[in-house]
A and B are shown apart, each in its own frame.
Chain A
Amino acid sequence: MAYSKKVMDLYADPKNIGSLDEKDENVGTSIVGAPSCGDVIKLQIKVDENGKISEAKFKTFGCGAAIASSALITDWIKGKSIEEARAIKNRDVAEHLSLPPIKVHCSVLAEEAVNKAIKDYLLKKEKAK
């Protein structure tokens, strides 16, 4: 597998591994993928009072590309507003990591994880009103 140095570096030393308190009203959680498909990403964001993503954590079951994509996207969304985070597309991740075509679906999963975590956060806020 011809992975770029960026993928290998993120695999070897992934940032943002971990979990946030799922019950915290400022935390949004998503789980995407399926064990039977070989990829599962759990991604969590914490949004501060200014509407900015202050923390982003992930846990990933999957190949090097899945791990690197989750590590990268959590890094990118930190400090961003929800709208800015939503604007990050899978192809940005795939391009940045020079993912081989067969691994592009890993970046799709990472994008999906971010959007679902945001949705979860917004839903929580909606319910709290």
Chain B
Amino acid sequence: MASKIIYMDYQATTPCDRRVLEAMIPYFCENFGNPHSVIHVMGEQAGEAIERAREQIAELINAPDKKAIIFTSGATESNNLAIQGIARRHKGSGNKIVASAIEHPCILEACHAMKREGLNVVMLPVLENGIVDMDALKREVDGATLVSIMTVNNEIGVIQPIDEISAICREHGALFHTDVSQAVGKIKVDASKIDLMSISGHKIYGPKGVGALYVRTNPPVELEPLFFGGGQERGLRSGTLPTPLCVGLGEACSIAKQEMLSESKRLMEFKNYFVAKILDNLEKTYLNGDKERRIPGCLNFSFDGVEGEAIMLGMRDVCMSSGSACTSASLQSSYVLKAISIRENLAHSSLRIGFGRYTIWEEVEYVSSKIIEIVNRLRAMSPIWEGK
């Protein structure tokens, strides 16, 4: 066991499912046609494969119209296209974007860029359980062009009340965008109630380098493209589509749709066991984020008195992540954990554990035991644990 690497960082990325890879392979060397060269048979074959993938994605997110799916290079591009595209198209009317303080950096940075272009950007606080402050949303939604709130947070796994948020936006005439990178394939997402929705391939056992943006078609949501070219993807995303990657994303969505229920049940058992074992065996240890409104595959703990990187160093055979400053290039602790108002030293003491499709019981048991062992060892040598 100890010599094998255990992967528990499923929020960072997931391995590509072999079934996905197999679906992709024919589109590299054999069916390599340009999907936009619709005039000949090679192009036509590639184009059909892309349209099939679009359908598979639309089915998973319950999109009323498959043409609403725009392929991109990933969720970072999708999110930028949504934020910048809406902000630029609607310049002059409203000029206000509202987003939650715990959005992914690509949303936050895109918002900051729009602020530099003169837009009014409002960051909504979240409550201590990680759920967006709905009173703040109701206050700020007035006059907003766009509201962007992620469905599931990548650090703490908390699920936002998307239906409620969507209804508030609709009532006030604001467009609603949600990043479902960490949600799709894990919980039901419903594009029919949303204006814009971002998807990533590599978070759902698909390939890296591909994603999608759902852009409602009826009534149509209008936005400016990020760049210009051949006018592919309804003019919103120029550039030749990477057929194998699109096929891979489609296949990943199709598998996720079939296996979502059984997988989430399995992960729920892991989660219940893991949380109970950690909290029963370690005092002053906290599960960050709402206890119930969260996906089972993302756990985030703070272990008072010890530092996150030091825990990870004690178990180099396990891939996890931490909100500690020491594990970030910027030496800043997690802004998500700060936003949910946990004491800053508890942000340094955090560890994110992610379960996924290939996690097995043996690993869940081993990692939970090992964490308890390492935390106890580090606490024995911690000056801030003394006397606690």
Q: Which residue of B lies closest to A19 (CB)?
A: B386
Of A59-67, A77-85, A121-129, the segment with at least 4 beta carbons within 8 Å of chain B is: A59-67
Chain A residue numbers with a CB within 8 Å of B381 are: 14, 17, 59-60, 67
Is A36 interfacial (CB-CB < 8 Å)? yes
**Is B305 touching A61 in the complex (CB atoms < 8 A)?**
yes
Q: Which residue of A lies closest to B348 (CB)?
A: A38
Q: Are A40 and B384 in contact (CB under 8 A)?
A: yes
Q: Does B344 contact A (CB under 8 A)?
A: yes
Q: Could you tell me if B306 and A61 are in contact, using CB atoms closer than 8 angstroms? A: yes
Residues of B within 8 A of A38 (CB): 307, 324-326, 333, 345, 348
Q: In terms of DSSP, what is the predominant structure of the interface of chain B?
A: loop
Interface of A is mostly: mixed
In chain B, positions 332-388 with a C-beta closer than 8 Å to chain A are 333, 343-345, 348, 380-386
Q: How far is the CB of B261 from chain A (nearest CB, A)?
A: 38
**From B305, B310, B331, B344, contact of A11 by CB (8 A):** B310
For B324, list chain A residues within 8 Å (CB).
38, 63
CB pair B382–A1 under 8 Å, yes or no, is no
Q: CA–CA, A33 to B383, complex, Å? A: 11
The reply to whether the CB of A88 lies closer than 8 angstroms to some CB of chain B is: no
What is the CB-to-nearest-CB distance from A91 to chain B, in angstroms, rounded to a whole number? 19
Contacts of A17 in B (CB 8 A): 380-381
Binary B-proximity of A1-44 (CB < 8 A = 1, otherwise 0):
10100001001001001010000000000010001111111100
- Is B39's beta carbon under 8 Å from chain A? no
Q: Does B313 contact A (CB under 8 A)?
A: yes
A11-B313, A63-B324 known; A35 vs B345 contact (CB < 8 Å): yes
**B103: A residues at CB distance < 8 A:** none
Does B120 sit within 8 A of A, measured CB to CB? no
Residue of A nearest to B329 (CB): A102
- Collect the chain A residues with CB atoms within 8 Å of residue B195's CB: none
Least CB separation from A106: chain B residue: B326
Q: Does B155 contact A (CB under 8 A)?
A: no
Question: Which B residues are CB-close (under 8 A) to A11?
Answer: 310, 313-314
B383 near A31: Cβ-Cβ < 8 Å: yes
Structural contact, B382 and A63, CB atoms closer than 8 A = no
The answer to whether A62 touches B326, judged by C-beta atoms less than 8 angstroms apart, is: yes
A8, A63, A64 — most chain B CB neighbours (10 Å): A63
* Complex interface: chain A residues within 8 A of B326 (CB): 38, 62-63, 65, 103
A61-B331 in contact given A36-B345, A37-B325, A42-B383 (Cβ < 8 Å): no
Is residue B327 contacting chain A, with contact meaning CB distance below 8 A?
yes
Q: How far is the CB of B324 from chain A (nearest CB, A)?
A: 6
A41 adjacent to B331 (CB under 8 Å): no
Which residue of chain A has the shortest Cβ distance to B324 in the bound complex? Answer: A38
A36-B344, A38-B325, A102-B331 given; A63·B383 CB < 8 A: no
Residue numbers in A under 8 Å from B384 (CB-CB)? 35, 40, 61
Find out whether the CB atom of B325 lies under 8 angstroms from the CB atom of A62: no
**Minimal beta-carbon separation of A125 from chain B (angstroms):** 24
B310 and A62 contact, CB distance less than 8 A: yes
**Closest CB in chain B relative to A99 CB, distance in Å:** 12
Name the interface residues of A47-102: CB closer than 8 Å to any CB of B. Answer: 59-67, 102
Of A1, A36, A61, which contacts B327 at CB under 8 A?
A: A1
A39–B384 Cα distance when bound, in Å, is 10
B305 proximity list for chain A (CB < 8 A): 61
Q: Is B77 interfacial (CB-CB < 8 Å)?
A: no
Q: Are B383 and A60 in contact, with the CB atoms below 8 A?
A: yes
Q: For A61, give its contact among B314, B333, B344, B385 (CB under 8 Å).
A: B385
- Closest approach, in angstroms, between the C-beta of B311 and any C-beta of chain A? 10
Q: In chain A, residues 97-125, which have Cβ atoms closer than 8 Å to a Cβ of chain B?
A: 102-103
Name the CB-closest residue of A to B379.
Answer: A61
Is B310's CB under 8 angstroms from A64's CB? yes
Residues of the B chain whose Cβ atoms lie less than 8 Å from the Cβ of A65: 326
- A67, B314: Cα distance in complex, Å: 12
Residues of B within 8 A of A8 (CB): 313
Contact A59 B382 (CB under 8 A): yes
Contacts A38-B345, A42-B383; A61 near B329 (Cβ below 8 A): no
Interface residues of chain B, those whose CB is within 8 Å of chain A, are 305-307, 309-310, 313-314, 324-327, 329, 331, 333, 343-345, 348, 380-386
Closest 10 CB pairs of A and B: A35-B345, A42-B383, A63-B326, A38-B348, A63-B309, A59-B383, A36-B344, A64-B313, A61-B382, A17-B381
What residues of chain A have their CB less than 8 Å away from a CB belonging to chain B?
1, 3, 8, 11, 14, 17, 19, 31, 35-42, 59-67, 102-103
Q: List 15 A-B contacts (CB under 8 A).
A: A8-B313, A11-B313, A11-B314, A14-B381, A35-B345, A36-B345, A41-B383, A59-B383, A60-B381, A60-B383, A61-B305, A63-B313, A64-B310, A64-B313, A66-B307
